[in-house]
Amino acid sequence: MAESNKMRDMPVNKLMIQMGIPMILSMALQAVYNIVDSAFVGNMKVGSEAALNALTLVFPVQMLMVAVGIGTGVGTNALLARTLGQGNSKKAAKVAGNSLFLGVIIYVACFLFGIFGVKAYISSQTVDTEVLEMGVSYLRICCVISFGIIFFSLFEKLLQATGRSLYSTIGQVVGAVVNIILDPIMIYGIGSVPEMGVKGAAYATVIGQVVSAVLLFIFHMKLNKEFEHGVKFMKLDTGIIKEIYAIGLPAIIAQALMSIMVYVMNLILKFDPSAQTAYGLFYKVQQFVLFLAFGLRDAITPILAFAYGMRSRKRIQDGIRYGLIYTIVLMIFGIAITEIFPGAFATLFNAGESRVYFISAMRVISVSFLFAGINVAYQGIYQALDGGVESLIISLLRQLVIILPLAGIFSWFVRNGQIGVSLIWWAFPITEVIACLVGYLFLKRIRKNESNKM
């Protein structure tokens, strides 16, 4: 019960740092080993350019799997924290159990796509047979053995909801280290392990994910003592599932929109495979920066949700204020890294023909990080305070309604030779600034509604 007391009594600024640092490190590490995966693949002796392009094309589906797992986890996180804040341990057990039931359903859907849908998906983005073969091999492995990433996402949120974010970070670190160790062994072939190329990268990834999921399952069973565990709590409860997705569905859609955005951007850039690859590489660097904001968001949401369950107006106000301040500090740090070291990242990936496009993307798109980070923080606040619709609208603006038409229009000028590819990159800062202004108006309205309810 000490963890619940911490959620109730510790000053919010200190609580957010204590909970946020492990989550930020966890998300940063996840982004780092995504970058490392691409770095190892980019330095293969044969077919490195094709392999990088293949990983760019499969990335939206990987993001979509994570989206459904994390979105379900976000709903579980906020509902579980709120339920514990109300002191209802019986319902908390059902919330946790139903989230694991949902995890089984999600895995079955990913498995079926891995068997039947992968080839059609990859072939929609490329006609290069080498890229197609590599992409299908990599993505099929990731989908068929996706139970690791799905259940890791759920157990991570169950631990975060009770204030045990440190343990979710330990699980993330162990899985990432396993992945990084296995990458060169399985990609290049070291010792008795045969050289597997991109298949090796896929196997290293899923093995690391499974290790993380198993470790977090152990932590969950041993440490989350605020509620009971057992198969009986996995019995379908439609009321609880509705509550989970009332909070989590906007988060799923938000994450899924990221997949759609990357997929459509791949189609927009299909006229130049080097620009397509450059965007895919940049997106992994962008993830490193924005994952810092996502990590802090994952602290903001349970802290505010717990305070909302307590009906503590002061803790809610403090959570909003410190959440935004800390996010801005993180984003300034991220902008500094990407603006100062674009050439170093290009060298790390062995970007080849994509180097010039990649550096120009770094220079332009990183301007948007400050506004993007604030938008992510807004969404964490909305999700904790019953603002799911507002969270969804911000996601639609950022990743569909503004960005894709704008990039499509800009690409017309590029394809007709009137200006360089860098024009397309400017669609990102423009989009984030507009979404941030709308998000501020939503925040004012949500705070007014929350005040009236309390």
Q: Dihedral sign for Cα 157, 159, 161, 163, please.
A: negative
How far apart CA 397 and CA 187 sit, in angstroms, is: 39
Q: How far apart are CA 454 and CA 448, in angstroms?
A: 10
**Residues 295 and 26: beta-carbon distance below 8 Å:** yes
Helices 165-184 and 198-223 meet at what angle, rounded to 10? 160
Q: Label residue 125 exposed, middle or buried (CB < 10 Å: 0-12, 13-18, 19+).
A: buried
Region of residue 191 (left: phi > 0; alpha: psi -120 to 50; beta: else): left
- pLDDT tens sequence for the chain (454 residues): 455 567 788 899 899 998 888 778 777 777 776 777 788 888 888 888 888 888 888 988 988 898 898 889 888 988 898 888 888 888 999 999 999 999 999 999 999 999 999 999 999 888 889 999 999 999 999 999 999 999 999 999 899 888 787 888 888 889 988 998 999 999 999 989 999 999 999 999 999 999 999 999 999 999 988 888 888 888 888 999 999 998 888 778 777 888 889 899 989 998 888 888 889 888 888 888 888 898 899 889 888 988 888 888 888 999 999 999 999 999 999 999 999 998 888 888 887 778 899 999 999 999 999 999 999 999 889 888 878 788 889 989 998 999 999 999 999 999 877 688 889 999 999 999 999 999 999 998 888 776 666 6
User: How is the chain split into domains, by residue range?
Assistant: 10-236, 261-448
**pLDDT at residue 1, as a whole number:** 46
d(CA 77, CA 70): 10
Tell me what pLDDT residue 44 has.
87
Is the pTM higher than 0.95? The answer reads no
pLDDT for the residue 373:
96
**Cα 37 to Cα 32, 34, 261, distances in angstroms:** 9, 5, 22
d(CA 201, CA 229): 35
Q: What pLDDT is recorded for position 451?
A: 66
Query: Whole-angstrom Cα distance, residue 354 to residue 139?
Result: 23
Looking at this protein, which amino acid is placed at residue 211? V
